[in-house]
Structure 1
Amino acid sequence: MTERGEGSNAALSKYEGYENWKSNIPVMYDWFTNHNLVWPSFSCRFYLQGTDGFVPHTLMITNCDVVKPRVKNAEDISQFNEEEQSPFVQRYKTLIHPGEVNRIRELPQKSTIVATHNNSSNVLLWDLEAQPNRHPVNGAPASRPDLILTGHGNDVEFALAMCPTEPFVLSGGRDNSLVLWSIQDHITSLGSTKGSPKLGPRGVFEGHDAIVEDVQFCPSSAQEFCSVGDDYRLILWDARSGNAPVVKVEKAHDADIHCVDWNAQNENLILTGSADKTVHLLDRRKMFVGGVVLPIHKFEGHKDHIFYEPQWCPDRASVFASAGEDGILNIWDHLKVVGNNNENARAKTRSAPSGLFFRHAGHRYRIVDFHWNPVEPWTLASISHDVDKTGCGVSAVIMLGTTMKMQEQKHGRHLPVYAFDMLRQIWRMSDLLYKPEEDVEEEVEAELIQYN
């Protein structure tokens, strides 16, 4: 296994291109805010506060005011201080977590319920509404989980998913297996019991020969899911047909596969990201030609390992984002590669990687996670880990958008953000970059007429 957080130092050039990126912020972004954090983060829905041994691990829930499109002017967007905290982010509640957090996911059916991975064999469930606010002082006991999911034979790390259609939880771990739970019978009682009840698995699935690095449900089925691991495999599963793999793709990459995502708008499309620095786009109907795995396309634009899942954009079915050790967040449009021959011809004359749609270069250190806002179109949060500031390697998470009832604010929608402290950026690219070309041309012409 390639350790997360380790990579080529050459790929972590701290300031390469950063000043050039900063000078172009008013052109590329509709809104941008930078929030300086204290501790390193390994996730981007939530953020776990790191510890020096005197303060307990904490999970902090914060709110973020996401500004409406075309409200901030260019001067406001470009003037930010990397060392300051954002005025748009406010802390809401603190939980004391039992140990570090590697991954957090929210339950779509009731998004105030979240699952966490720490360095144990259990998955912990929390009801954020029912949990009391805590003060992280030395010696304070950990908050008590509302439900403990058991079934792994070894530690779990990063592989964690919640089902979009039913209250199912899926996890992968160092025991090379996947474990599936249904929490249907426990949702109504979460937060009401004095102890932490335990729930055994609905199924255990074995087919990997190494650590399972990531798992993902099919967007329309609680019974179908996929997984990737350090054995270079992508495996498709269907719990209705038993505990054995349905499709096993050997050597889906040339190195450990760390992440996978399933397209919610086109369920035949699956993305995988790997330590071989590439993202593969596969069609599950035709992944093989002559017994050899054949991706629709291999996206090559990163200079170092891709550790955290490429994520499909909720606003356009053909767009996805990827990030990794090189400190770059790339946004791709696969139709610009496979959609038409004219685009393929133009791509050959460009220096940019084929299919590259946008490049966010606002982080000077490795990006450890990011998340598309599911409510505000084309808005993302991203977190980077300054490897020179601390070696504690503590996980952390942030999330935009789906855990509490939204309220209208003067800045726009008031969205819940599960957050914490290290370098976090919340941003939205200019709509001139993703709108149809004819609409952009029409708008530019109208502006020219107005100013003439």
Structure 2
Amino acid sequence: MKERGKGHSTVDERYTQWKSLVPVLYDWLANHNLVWPSLSCRWGPQLEQATFKNRQRLYLSEQTDGTVPNTLVIANCEVVKPRVAAAEHISQFNEEARSPFVKKFKTIIHPGEVNRIRELPQDSKIVATHTDSPDVLIWDVDAQPNRHAVLGAANSHPNLILTGHQDNAEFALAMCSKEPFVLSGGKDKSVVLWSIQDHISASASVDAKSPGVSSSIVKTSKDGENNEDSPAVAPRGIFHGHENTVEDVQFSPSSAQEFCSVGDDSCLILWDARVGTNPAVKVTKAHDADIHCVDWNPHDENLILTGSADSSVRMFDRRSLTSNGVGSPIYKFEGHSAAVLCVQWCPDKASVFGSAAEDSFLNVWDYEKVAKMTENPSKLPNSPPGLFFQHAGHRDKVVDFHWNASDPWTIVSVSDDCGSTGGGGTLQIWRMSDLIYRPQEEVLTELEKFKSHIISCSTK
């Protein structure tokens, strides 16, 4: 998954065409040229709300060439509110410059490159990271000291280390929305479940003997630096059922005991920790190649998305996952021309999701539009069924993206296009025009009001 995709001669032409359409397609866009490539990007907590923009944390990684350490970056991001940015403002960005909307706040020197970042929903200043090792690292980003990433600098010490994998676990990582649980998958073909609460409970029992000391996953010495030895937490369960590397995992939106996983064996597996460590349901050949990513619909727990090296996104209904023992998706979304690396449901509308791929596109889909097209085949557009927006602002593979739960319809995405931008890759924060996703009736009504206003002004 970390090999870079090849560029094409038409990339610059396509990018130029896309940039000319930015004022029409977007309500807001910020382009930030990175110093080093980032393999993961995540929104953190919202810090402040103002009249025209909100301030929010942003978590990024820096994958360096070894001349300086790899880092976990905590940035402050100014998110412009809807219908505030002028068209000329969002179109006049320099793709080789740093955006004034993104400012580095703190640097954590990470032991190895950061392959994946996930925040804890109950407390988003707590993040988990994957690197090329069997362990999951847990960080309290507020408590961690700010470090200078210079050659020879010692690694920052994680606040917790989650142990249990027998081989490297590089990508598959998830945090639970119901309990402080962490889920991981790796090259050992296993899925491992931990509870951060196990450590908090153990700390509380120790702290009870020392009145006035609060229980926390953070253990600091008197000078404020983290302890040399990070405490470790053993797993609550290790789940076996995959026959190759586990590439992604996800919790059920309604239960900390139910989760799913996908891997290089082309399988989608559903698990239930309450009934044991064997698969509850195993979907063989859910795709025709390795499966890189999975997401569970937070609005409808029956719907699960998967993205694969076969360039497709598939949607499964957990009530009818297989047919004759083989995966039976209810929809296949085929709008990418290369491996799909990331899928995520939109927090703002139950039927909408995004998919990012090695073809440099981030596609936004609405499965309800597929059903409508099926009912009216004469109205089928040239684009694939369900695809209603295509973000073409990246010039190489889009390795990660994240919907913003605090600012509706706002997305952060990162791409490994350092060869074409003269930097370390590109981070973009963007929001499509609401005329694109709002119901057609609303848009037409608003356009009529606007038309009436123009006519009224012209006759005065």
Q: Does 1:18 align with 2:15?
A: yes
Take 1:382 and 1:439, find their aligned partners in 2: how far apart are those partners?
A: 29
Is the 8 Å Cα contact of residues 11 and 303 (structure 1) preserved in structure 2? no
Take 2:358 and 2:24, find their aligned partners in 1: how far apart are those partners?
A: 26
* 1:131 alignment counterpart: 144
Shift of 1:110: 1.2
Taking structure 2 as the reference length, what is the TM-score of the superposition?
0.87
Take 2:453 and 2:77, find their aligned partners in 1: how far apart are those partners?
A: 35
* 2:64 alignment counterpart: 51
Uncovered stretches (5+) of structure 1, i.e. residues with no partner: 392-419
Shift of 1:306: 0.8
Shift of 1:185: 3.4
Take 1:50 and 1:134, find their aligned partners in 2: how far apart are those partners?
A: 16
Shift of 1:339: 4.8
Greater RCO, 1 or 2 (C-alpha within 8 Å, sep 6+): 1
* 1:192 alignment counterpart: 219
String of CA shifts for 1:42-85, please: whole Å, max 9, x gaps.
11223222333231112111111111110111111111110111
String of CA shifts for 1:406-428, please: whole Å, max 9, x gaps.
xxxxxxxxxxxxxx963111000
Q: Secondary structure at the match of 1:310?
A: strand
> Relative to structure 1, is the Cα distance of residues 363 and 206 closer, same or farther in structure 2, using a 3 angstrom cutoff?
same
Shift of 1:19: 1.4
Match of 1:376 among 393, 407, 428: 407
* 1:404 alignment counterpart: none
* 1:352 alignment counterpart: 383
Shift of 1:344: 4.5
Take 2:280 and 2:253, find their aligned partners in 1: how far apart are those partners?
A: 17
Match of 1:324 among 335, 357, 365: 357
Take 1:253 and 1:298, find their aligned partners in 2: how far apart are those partners?
A: 10
Residue range with higher mean Cα deviation, 140-149 or 292-301 = 292-301
Q: Secondary structure at the match of 1:223?
A: strand
Opposite residue 3 of structure 2, the aligned amino acid is G
Q: Does 1:75 align with 2:51?
A: no
CA-based RMSD of the aligned residues comes to 1.8
Match of 2:2 among 4, 7, 20: 4
Opposite residue 231 of structure 2, the aligned amino acid is P
Shift of 1:109: 1.1
Q: Does 1:223 align with 2:257?
A: yes
Is the 8 Å Cα contact of residues 11 and 325 (structure 1) preserved in structure 2? no
String of CA shifts for 1:129-188, please: whole Å, max 9, x gaps.
111111112211111111110000000110000011001000000000011001113344
Take 2:177 and 2:351, find their aligned partners in 1: how far apart are those partners?
A: 20
Q: Secondary structure at the match of 1:87?
A: coil
Take 1:118 and 1:216, find their aligned partners in 2: how far apart are those partners?
A: 18
Is the 8 Å Cα contact of residues 107 and 167 (structure 1) preserved in structure 2? yes
Q: Does 1:276 align with 2:310?
A: yes
* 1:407 alignment counterpart: none
String of CA shifts for 1:90-132, please: whole Å, max 9, x gaps.
1111111111111111111111111111111111111111111
* 1:243 alignment counterpart: 277
Shift of 1:235: 0.3
Q: Secondary structure at the match of 1:17?
A: helix
String of CA shifts for 1:209-251, please: whole Å, max 9, x gaps.
1000000000110100000000010000000010000100000
Take 1:206 and 1:185, find their aligned partners in 2: how far apart are those partners?
A: 22
Opposite residue 402 of structure 2, the aligned amino acid is H
Q: Secondary structure at the match of 1:380?
A: strand
Shift of 1:366: 1.2
Q: Does 1:440 align with 2:443?
A: yes
> Relative to structure 1, is the Cα distance of residues 12 and 251 closer, same or farther in structure 2, using a 3 angstrom cutoff?
farther
Take 1:52 and 1:31, find their aligned partners in 2: how far apart are those partners?
A: 33
* 1:312 alignment counterpart: 345
Q: Secondary structure at the match of 2:447?
A: helix
* 2:112 alignment counterpart: 99
Tell me the matched-pair count. Answer: 418
Opposite residue 140 of structure 2, the aligned amino acid is D
Pick the structure with greater CA Rg: 2
Opposite residue 351 of structure 2, the aligned amino acid is S
Is the 8 Å Cα contact of residues 313 and 334 (structure 2) preserved in structure 1? yes
Q: Does 1:115 align with 2:128?
A: yes
Take 2:304 and 2:377, find their aligned partners in 1: how far apart are those partners?
A: 21
Opposite residue 451 of structure 2, the aligned amino acid is L
Is the 8 Å Cα contact of residues 138 and 160 (structure 2) preserved in structure 1? yes
Is the 8 Å Cα contact of residues 47 and 421 (structure 1) preserved in structure 2? no
* 2:458 alignment counterpart: none
Is the 8 Å Cα contact of residues 198 and 233 (structure 2) preserved in structure 1? no
Take 2:432 and 2:361, find their aligned partners in 1: how far apart are those partners?
A: 15
* 1:141 alignment counterpart: 154
Take 1:390 and 1:315, find their aligned partners in 2: how far apart are those partners?
A: 32
Is the 8 Å Cα contact of residues 12 and 326 (structure 1) preserved in structure 2? no
Take 2:324 and 2:261, find their aligned partners in 1: how far apart are those partners?
A: 23
Take 1:371 and 1:149, find their aligned partners in 2: how far apart are those partners?
A: 24
Shift of 1:5: 2.7
Residue range with higher mean Cα deviation, 216-225 or 39-48 = 39-48
Is the 8 Å Cα contact of residues 176 and 182 (structure 2) preserved in structure 1? yes
Uncovered stretches (5+) of structure 2, i.e. residues with no partner: 43-58, 201-214, 221-226, 456-460
* 1:388 alignment counterpart: 419
* 1:402 alignment counterpart: none
Q: Does 1:165 align with 2:178?
A: yes
Shift of 1:297: 0.9
Take 1:290 and 1:215, find their aligned partners in 2: how far apart are those partners?
A: 25
* 1:232 alignment counterpart: 266
Shift of 1:368: 0.9
> Relative to structure 1, is the Cα distance of residues 179 and 276 closer, same or farther in structure 2, using a 3 angstrom cutoff?
same
